[in-house]
Chain A
Amino acid sequence: MTNIIEISGITKTFGSHVAVDNLSLAVPEGSIYGFIGPNGSGKTTTIRMIMNILYPDNGSIRIFGEEQTGSNIGRIGYLPEERGLYRKMKLRELIQFHGELKKVPNPGKEADYWLKKFDLEPWAKKKVETLSKGMSQKVQFIVTIIDKPAIIILDEPFSGLDPVNAEVIREVILDLRKSGSTVIFSTHDMSVAEKMCDFIFMIYKGKKVLDGTLQSIKDQYGQDTLLLQTDLGSAALDDIDGIDRINDFGQQQEVRLLPGTDPQKILEQVILRARISRFEMSSPSLEDIFIRIARPEKNNSHE
């Protein structure tokens, strides 16, 4: 598999703040690559540099095997994190306008196709300002992918969408990937990242902290996590030794064990207190890994 995007050693500073620090990354063609990281960690800055909207201070970005100079942004669909549309334009005209900008052969027809696909036909002649937030999210997605670009970069594509609309967008993303597009998206929803991405890249304080397939990332952390479900909830784990941290989801607890702890010992204690409906050793979830990296200061607490 060839790499469609190759980033090597890029750094970007704003004043004294280092937003992206010596970052390297290779995105294979046809993959779905998830960008995760806390707010302000450098995701958007990295994406903007890929888009040639910002220029790295150091390092290089190669896209389609060529140095990024901005000449190839026509082949990239980009959905920024904060996005706006011309509010006074009519919906179909707006989609057609973006189609023309992306040199779609028949922008009007294409606009009709996508309006139908996203159930927006009744609004085709209405002004953008009359749309609900979810609808304009869908419109923004349409104008990003209207020309079925070779690379699709989506900054938080699912934020603010209800499950039905998120489903429609997910389907389109997967369809585009099937037809050969490479997809990069950033998200705060770890379950989406786990389910959709071939590769996951995590950036924290401008530095790359994770990069690889979900499995390879989880393998780094081993089977140190206990998934527990009892009729007592987290109270079943009170005062038990060997626990590093509990992610309490109410019905279920995700328990990180201290190195060297025998899960059998914990099972013995819990079984005396509560009815167990689930007791499973597994590798940590992506969410837990994210929290371990992004909240190191809390790692030692038991809450």
Chain B
Amino acid sequence: MNKTLVIAKREYRAAVRTKGFLITLLLLPIFMGGGFIVMAITKDKVDTTDKRIAVVDQSGRLGENLKHRAEERNARDIKDSVTGVKKFPAYYIDLITPDVTDLNGQKLKLSDEVRNKKINAFVQIGPDVIHPQPGKEQSRICYFSENSLMDETQNWIGYVLNDKIREIRVAEIGILPEKVRDLFYWVNMEGMGLISQDTRTGDIKAARKSDVLQTIMVPYILMFLMFMTLMMSAIPLLQAVMEEKSERIAEVLLGSVSPTQFMMGKVIGGLAVSLTTTGIYILGGVFSIKAMGMGDIIPYHVLPWFFAYMLLNIIMTGCMFAAMGSTCNDSKDAQAIQFPAMLPLIIPMFVMMPVIQNPLGSFATTMSLIPPFTPMLMLVRQATQVTIPIWQPIAGLLGVLIFTLLSVWIGGRIFRSCIIMHGKRPKMGLLFKQLMKG
């Protein structure tokens, strides 16, 4: 057997036969999907404890209506019409007469009541809200609570108050509210995917409504998978090579193989590990998604690109990490170098969201054509539902290919000269000299 493959085989077996590998294999989907699973579970779990809201109505025209609408809602909307199970909290409105002499004192008292859990929140309606002066204190409606950003109650009250304000304004100009009911009906725009034609049957497939699952999760999962495979295959090479160097295993092996064979054997071993893990995940993912009846969200056309990018990315990153490992003498050196070395992998994670949101934008295009970022970011763009111009993935892949060859060459040279060099970690200048000299 080829010596490189003998090394690769050993690396593969050493990695796959550990308990750590099995544990990571099992835990990874949990880490990856954890957030989404929690979101999915908690989505339907609405807090149904009743809410008591104090209202200080300085305008004097909105409070009564609000109280009335809340009572209507409590009677009609909070229970499931069929099962009678409570689905939403009831809202109780306490109308408080504004204390004109000491409004701030009154607000402080109400705040303390919120803190003491006597009420959940209080609302202050300014005196001029019907005919507001923009920017004026008098024209505001304020909702005071401990967590005023994420609050369903606030939305509901805001809607009811504005509804009433509109009604009053319409009545004031002498139009009957019934005549303009449609005036305020907001028609929501729904995001849809494109119409496509089934290549076999010729049928036109209906457009699907785009949802979060598809626009974000599919690219996210593919990118995360790539990141995690790199974490499991290429990044450990830094530590492994450092250990082989410091434990003097390297020189023993160099008695039988050339440094390049040694390095490539390790990288190919890592590659085989990642093919195993991604193979398991992708097959598992495809089967379970199909079993859930969502087979049409699997981006089959992206999978070959995924594997091509992954292959090159692991070789590219692996060679670099192996080379950097060869410059380290102990784990302190390795730790110091690890974070900067990981930046090319972390940056794509940072910019993932803007790229998913606007895959055709110049930011996304430029970033995804920078070779170290291409495997992850081009993949993300391709996995979105937007059609990327075909030259871009091809150019990206070519760039990555060139970059990978360069990494193998540079990595090999650094590895060769550093793997048996003990003592101080070489400085950049020396590394560059060795790179040139070979």
CA distance A82 to B3 in the complex (A): 23
Q: Quick check: is A257 within 8 A (CB to CB) of the other chain?
A: no
Decide: B6 and A76 in contact? CB cutoff 8 A.
no
Choose one: A51, A73, A87, A144; the contact of B247 (CB below 8 Å): A87
Residues 267-296 of A, flagged 1 when their CB comes within 8 A of B and 0 if not, give: 000000000000000000000000000000
Interface check B1, CB cutoff 8 A: yes
Taking a contact as CB atoms under 8 Å apart, the answer to whether A143 and B252 are in contact is: yes
User: Are A86 and B255 also in contact (CB < 8 A) when A80-B248, A100-B6, A101-B7 are?
Assistant: no
Taking the closest CB of chain A, its distance from the CB of B21, in whole angstroms, is 13
Chain A residues within 8 Å of B118, by CB = none
A102 lies within 8 A of chain B by Cβ: yes
The answer to whether B256 and A82 have CB atoms under 8 Å apart is no
- Residues of chain A within 8 A (CB-CB) of B258 are 52, 70, 73
Contact bitstring A72-112, B, C-beta under 8 A = 1, else 0: 01101111101111111100000001101111000000000
Q: Which residues of A contact B248 (CB under 8 A)?
A: 80, 82-84
| A-B CB pair tally, cutoff 8 Å | 64
Any chain A CB within 8 A of the CB of B22? no
B-side interface size class: 20 to 34
- Bound CA span A87–B6, Å: 18
B420 touches A101 (CB 8 A): no
Q: Of A82, A84, A97, A103, which is in contact with the most chain B CB atoms at under 10 Å from its CB?
A: A84
Q: How far is the CB of B220 from chain A (nearest CB, A)?
A: 35
- Report the nearest A residue to B423, measured CB to CB: A14
Are A76 and B420 within 8 A (Cβ)?
no
Contact B255 A88 (CB under 8 A): no
- Knowing A101-B3, A101-B6 touch, does A78 contact B255 (C-beta < 8 A)? yes
The 8 A CB mask of A202-239 against B (1 = contact, 0 = none) is 00000000000000000000000000000000000000
Contact partner, B254, options A53, A77, A89, Cβ 8 Å: A53
Q: Across the interface, do B255 and A100 meet the contact criterion of CB distance under 8 Å?
A: no
Interface residues of B in 131-150 (CB under 8 A from A): none
A140 to B420, CA, bound (A): 18
If the complex has contacts A97-B6, A97-B10, A101-B3, are A83 and B420 also in contact, measured as CB distance less than 8 A? no
B252: chain A residues within 8 A (beta carbon)? 78-80, 83-85, 140, 143
Contact with A along B6-26 (1 / 0, CB 8 A): 110010001000000000000
Total interface residues in chain A, CB < 8 Å: 30
How far apart are the CA atoms of A88 and B7 in the complex, in Å?
A: 15
One digit per residue, 1 when the CB lies within 8 angstroms of any chain B CB and 0 when it does not, for chain A 46-60 equals 001001111000000
Q: How far is the CA of A89 from the CA of B9 in the complex (A)?
A: 13
Interface string of A192-205 (1 = CB under 8 A from B): 00000000000000
CA–CA, A70 to B248, complex, Å?
A: 20
Which of B247, B256, B259 is packed against the most chain A CB atoms within 10 Å? B256
- Residues A85 and B249 in contact in the complex (CB < 8 Å), given A48-B420, A100-B6, A101-B7: yes
B32 touches A (CB below 8 Å):
no
Residue among A86, A97, A101 with most chain B CB within 10 A: A101
For A100, list chain B residues within 8 Å (CB): 1, 6
Contact between chains at A101 and B247 (CB < 8 Å) = no
Report the bound CA distance from A261 to B162 in whole Å: 123
- A interface residues with partner B (beta carbon < 8 Å): 48, 51-54, 70, 73-74, 76-80, 82-89, 97-98, 100-103, 140, 143-144
Extra 15 A-B pairs, beta carbons < 8 Å, given A52-B258, A82-B251: A48-B420, A53-B259, A54-B420, A78-B252, A79-B252, A80-B255, A83-B249, A84-B250, A84-B252, A97-B6, A101-B7, A101-B253, A102-B256, A103-B3, A144-B255
